[in-house]
Amino acid sequence: EVQLVESGGGLVQPGGSLRLSCAASGFNFSMYWMTWVRQAPGKGLDWVANIVQDGSQKHYVDSVRGRFTISRDNAKNSLWLQMDSLRAEDTAVYYCVRHSGWAFDIWGQGTMVTVSS
Amino acid sequence: QSALTQPPSASGSLGQSVTISCTGTSSDVGTYKYVSWYQQHPGKAPKLIIYEVSKRPSGVPDRISGSKSGNTASLTVSGLQAEDEADYYCNAYTGSNNEMFGGGTKLTVL
């Protein structure tokens, strides 16, 4: 079964850091771009960052560039999102998503990140 | 960079058809064939239902269809069923390896 499982969410104070993880299974992880998408409570979907198959290229939405870092390890079938200098507006459910031909075809169940003092 | 424009809500009766629009610009929807649509039920992760403007993934019924004209993409759900009640989001490639979502449309089945 093709599956993405996120972990690492939680409550963090403004200015703090958090590292999200995503474990992939059931497909050849190294063949796909991967993406993080977030959804603030009661709001729509926002693309956050993506990374190419070998990790050599990474792209970020302007609001997180310089604060978030996306990375992957194909040998471990794993994707990460290091989030630093967190702000209240980063509060959201974060989804790990497989990217196939400029569409997001497989989604994880999401992990909640709450930034609050 | 503004989000793609979707109507906040749409509705239709059981068995009827409803169309949801997604308006971008000549730099995204108007230029590329990479428009996709997602269905999200409350408390669940989104699900891909249309990719590359009009293609359906395996398992998505053919009563769900997509199209594009100029800078506007559209999703049509025909033969509305109760389980179609959900939020729907469009997404488009905007160039430079970036992409953007629409604000979402809440579909109510009457």
pLDDT at position B1, please?
54
Mean pLDDT by 10 residues, chain B (110 residues): 86 97 92 95 97 95 96 97 97 86 96
Q: What is the overall mean pLDDT for chain A?
A: 96
Cα–Cα distance, A25 to B108 (Å, whole number)? 35
Task: Kindly tell me the burial class for residue B10, based on how many C-beta atoms sit within 10 Å of its own C-beta (0-12, 13-18, 19 or more).
Answer: middle
Label the pairing between strands A10-12 and A111-115.
Answer: parallel
A57, pLDDT greater than 70: yes
Q: Are A103 and B34 in contact (CB under 8 A)?
A: yes
Give, for A59, the enclosing helix (H) or strand (E). Answer: strand A58-60
Residue B52: its chain A contacts at CB < 8 A? 101-103
A12, pLDDT greater than 90: yes
Give how far Cα B59 sits from Cα of A26, A31, B42, B78, Å: 18, 23, 20, 16
pLDDT at position A72, please?
98
Contact between A102 and B48 using a beta-carbon 8 Å cutoff: no
* Nearest by CB: B101 against A47, A50, A101: A47
Residue A107: its chain B contacts at CB < 8 A? 45-47
Task: Kindly tell me the burial class for residue B85, based on how many C-beta atoms sit within 10 Å of its own C-beta (0-12, 13-18, 19 or more).
Answer: middle
Give Cβ neighbours of residue B30 (< 8 Å, ≥ 6 apart): B24, B70, B71
pLDDT at position B65, please?
97
pLDDT at position A102, please?
84
Give, for A33, the enclosing helix (H) or strand (E). Answer: strand A33-39
